[in-house]
Each structure stands twice: as C-alpha cells, then as structure tokens.
Amino acid sequence: MRDLASIQKDFLNGVLKENKNKSLSVYRDLVVTNHLSALKDVYPVCLRIVGEKYFSYLSEIYLEKRPTNEPDLNVYGHDFSDFLLNEITEREELSELGYLSEVTEFEWNIYSASRKDFVPNSPEEIISKIVSNENVDVIFILNPSLSLSVFNYPIIEIWKEHQNEEVGKIELINSKNYVVVWKHNKDVVYQNIDENEFNFLNLLSQKKSFNELSEIYSDKEKELENFIATSINNGWIVDIEIIV
Amino acid sequence: MFKFDNTSRRSNLKSGIGLRDPHLEQIIEEKPNIGWFEIITDNLINADEKTLQMLEKIRSDYPFSLHSVGTSIGSVDDLNFDYLKELRKLSERLEPFSVSEHLCWSGAHGVHLHDLFPLPMTEETVLHVAERVEQIQEFFGHEILIENVSAYTDFVESEMSEPEFITQIARKSGSGILLDINNIFINSKNLGLDAKKYVSEVPKNLIGEMHLAGGEQREGYILDSHNCRVWDEVWDLYEYALGSYGQIPTLIEWDNDIPELSVLIDEAANANRRIDSICVI
Ligand SMILES: [Fe+2]
C-alpha cells in the first residue's frame, strides 16, 4: 500500500502532466485554468503579443516546468520572465520576439508595485530628518515598491504601444534602457533613467550608507547631492535610517 | 489542549454571506439585514490599509468568520508558518467568531497548486492531519474548524468513510467541523456516498458552521462551482441536517460570477426560513 507521501507524489504527477486518468484530468483542467487566469491578470501585454492560444500553451508549460511552492496565488508568475528568456532561446516561433521576456519583467514590476502598500514620508519630512541627523551616518531607505531593470529593447515604448487599440510599428533599436518602476501617491509610475542614476539607485538598494556613498563619489560631491535630491523628490527615497 | 464542543456555547447566528469586493461600499452605505459575513483570508494577504479599514468598519456592525484556502493541512510538506502568520494577523485584527480551513491538501514535495485536493482516508492520514491541526491551533491560540471538501476522485487506499475520517481528525485534534452540505451532495453524486447517512454520522456537538453553495453539472460529474443558487437537492439535505443538528451558522458560498447583493441576501433568507421552521432552540 502506498503511503501518504507517495500518494501525493503520484497525484501531483498526474495533475501536472497531460493524462488519460479521467478523474485526475478534472483536477488538471481546474489547475491549468486557475493558473492561466492568474497569469493573464499580470501579463496582459504578453498575452496580446503572443495571442490567446499561444499564451495558454506557454502557461501550461510554465506550470509544468516551474510549479511554485507559494500558497498565495497573487504572487504566481514571479519568474515567468525568466522562464520566457529560456523558451526564447529554445523555440523557433519565439525567435523574433526577443523582447518578450523583458516586457514581462516590466509587467511584473508594474503589478508588484501596484500591490505594495506603505505610507511614504513627504520630501520635506525626509529632508528635515536628514538635517537633524547631520552628525551621524545614515542609510537611505528606498521606496519598497521600486524596481530597477536594464533592458536591451525600448520596453516602455513597446508596453505603451500595446495599450492602444491598434498596435503601430515599433522600432526595435537595440540599446541599453535603464528603467525604474515605483508607486508614487497611489499610482504606479515608470521612467527611463540614465546609467549614472541607475548605478546610484543600485547602490542604495545595496544599503550603502551616506559615508560610503561619499567615498564612492569623493570626486563628484555635487553629483551625489543631486542624486539624493532627485531621489527624494521623485519618491524613490522614502525614509532614512540612522546607523548606530 | 483544545476541545471544540458546541453544546455549551451554541451560536445564535443563522445565515451569512461571503463578503466580496464588489459589495463592500454598498454594505457600508446600506447596512443590509444580514446575519454575518465570511471573509476569505487569502484575498487579504498584503491587502492595502484602506481595504482593511473598510473591513473593520463593516466588522463593527456584523460578526465575521475567517475562511482560508491555502494552508494545505493534509500535505506531507511542513506547514508554512509565514502564511499562517498572515492569517493570524488578520484574525487578531478582525476578531472573527470562527476560523476555518479545508480538510485537504493543495500540494506537496515543494509544489503548491492552489486547489483543494482530497485525501486518502487512512489511519496514517488521520494521525498526520490531526497533529498539524493541533499545531495550527497552538499557533493561533484557539480552535479552528475543518471543512469537508468536494472531490472528483477517491483512493483505493482509503480505510474508512468520509464522516468517520473527519470526525476522527476533529476528535484527535480538538477542532470543530465546518460541514459543507453541498460538498456532501456533490460527493454523493460523484463518488456514490450516502448523503443522509453521512450527515447522521457526524456528531452534532462538533459542528461549528455549515456551508451551502451551487454546483454545475458537467459531463459525468458535478463541479463544485460556487457560481449559482443552491440546488433543490442540497436544500433538502440542508433541511435534513437542520433536523439532526439544530441551528448552526450557515454560509451561502458564492465565489464566481458574483451576483447583485440582493441575490445573496435572498439566498440567505431562504436558509433562515428553513432554520426558523425546523429548529427549536
Ligand atoms: Fe465550503
């Protein structure tokens, strides 16, 4: 007699792969449909690009290859972009859609930012905190919804074009695009930034302290000041933490 | 050590409905005559503060029950305490009269498939699940209710009937039972159980809540779809259950194709009418 662990193993294998077992195929259909609809909610642009039928197909393969251990279905699909990156290299039919993985990464960033809930400090509050802690080292706290990506395609343009009823021609110029996505006053916003700003935000995400940053920017003090000011004004920096 | 027993503290609640997004504002504005609301906790993990405040506002006028779908009680994998922590946080904030989860599993061996799979009804499963229910109750600091699920398959390994299975787990862990009448009906059709016998075999003092819902006839089976009114056969079985158990808080479950609030209120009234005519408290 099989024990509970092997019964569950056999059952899962039956659900995750196409099978002829009628009663398990009911579960398979339910599971496939449920996960497909979760992916559709997060990736409407990807769905539009590849079409309904192919998206369903990809969703089934994704489920089979990368089943999650996360009970919260709201975070299902977090590595769909990485999955697509692999599929693009392996599938002839996707060879023209090199940007697909990047578009889905952008869609995931938008989706995740929209779900983040936090109470930000105003720029004035942050600045007054900085001023009153002038003599101690601090860490700048990044907006918890903020994500940074480097894309090889003009992803914001591609994404925007797919919000229109008719998708026009997009010029796929291959160049580095540094993109930041964050939630600001209840809205999700995104922006192309330059490489220097990107590097600065990256340092903040590594929790570099003000003293450490000053060292890195020792010959570019003014630049550092500007970065900090811009980051506070844009809502990228939302707080500071004093290092004890 | 927990020991659910409703004989000393029978609830006077009758029917309730699920609290769903599209109805929140209407409920706050109109304060409709509804006995209580059920909250699906999984929908609220990482909910924004505004939504939680809306719920607290509704909570100040109505009792709540908290119901979750993601615990995977019967899995051979370890319990996910990060998930349970989220549930406990919500429970502490919303102070429900009951907290419930399904007697099922949703994944194992590192995979979670977000569905409610049935369990093989064996001695091994009883011990395994009872121990986990105990752990959850320790963690929450109170008893929970475990709910019988609908099924489209069963296991040759099973050694006991479904009512025996759920009763043994409830007794061993000290939990109560959330008896889903529609699920008993569906399993009677899909798997050939005797529905009335099922109802008569579950001890009355362990039942903390009942569920009613509508299903969908598919080719060769009934799907537990929660997208329509309660079927007549399910109302019949509910009447039989009320005759056996007396008044028990009863939820109208409607999770897909959610209708106007008035339809849910009407279904809840259909349940209340039966409670009033059958149960003498
Ligand atoms: Fe139920």
- A41 neighbors A80 (Cβ within 8 angstroms): no
ipTM for this prediction: 0.94
Fold topology of B15-278:
TIM Barrel (3.20.20)
pLDDT tens column, A188-204: 999 999 999 999 999 99
Q: Which of residues 135-164 of B touch A (CB under 8 A)?
A: 152-153, 155, 157
Q: Which two tokens stand for residue B215?
A: 């299903």
| Residue type at position B74 | G
Q: Which two tokens stand for residue B125?
A: 């499963």
Q: Position of tokens 């409920």? A: B27
User: Which residues of chain A are within 8 Å of residue B112 when distances are taken between CB atoms?
Assistant: 67-71
pLDDT tens column, A14-28: 999 877 777 798 999
pLDDT at A96: 85
pLDDT at B8: 66
Cβ neighbours of residue B247 closer than 8 Å, sequence gap 6 or more: B10, B11, B12, B14, B275, B279, B281
pLDDT tens column, A20-54: 777 798 999 999 999 999 999 999 999 999 999 99
Q: Cα–chain-centroid distance for residue A208?
A: 22
- A62 neighbors A39 (Cβ within 8 angstroms): yes
Residue of B nearest to A25 (CA): B152
Residue A72 to residue B155, Cβ atoms within 8 A: no
Residue A175's pLDDT band, with cuts at 50, 70 and 90, is confident
Which among A4, A24, A31 has the least Cβ separation from residue B113?
A31
Residue of A nearest to B51 (CA): A117
* Distance of alpha carbon A18 from alpha carbon A9, whole angstroms: 15
* Distance of alpha carbon A40 from alpha carbon B152, whole angstroms: 27
Q: Which of residues 110-129 of B touch A (CB under 8 A)?
A: 110-115, 117, 119-120, 122, 124-125, 128
Q: A17 CA to chain B: closest CA distance, Å?
A: 13
- B242 neighbors B275 (Cβ within 8 angstroms): yes
Q: Which domains does chain A have, with CATH numbers?
A: 1-98 (no CATH), 118-244 (3.90.930.50)
Query: How far, in Å, from the CA of B84 to the mean position of ligand 1?
Result: 20
* Distance of alpha carbon B242 from alpha carbon B5, whole angstroms: 17
pLDDT at A186: 85
Block mean pLDDT (10 aa), chain B, length 281: 79 93 93 96 86 93 96 97 95 95 97 97 98 97 97 96 98 97 97 97 96 95 95 98 95 96 97 92 54
pLDDT at A209 over 70: yes
Residue A16 to residue B111, Cβ atoms within 8 A: yes
User: Which residues of chain B are within 8 Å of residue A70 when distances are taken between CB atoms?
Assistant: 112
Domain ranges of chain B: 15-278
* Distance of alpha carbon B127 from alpha carbon B122, whole angstroms: 9
| Residue type at position A210 | F
| Residue type at position A234 | N
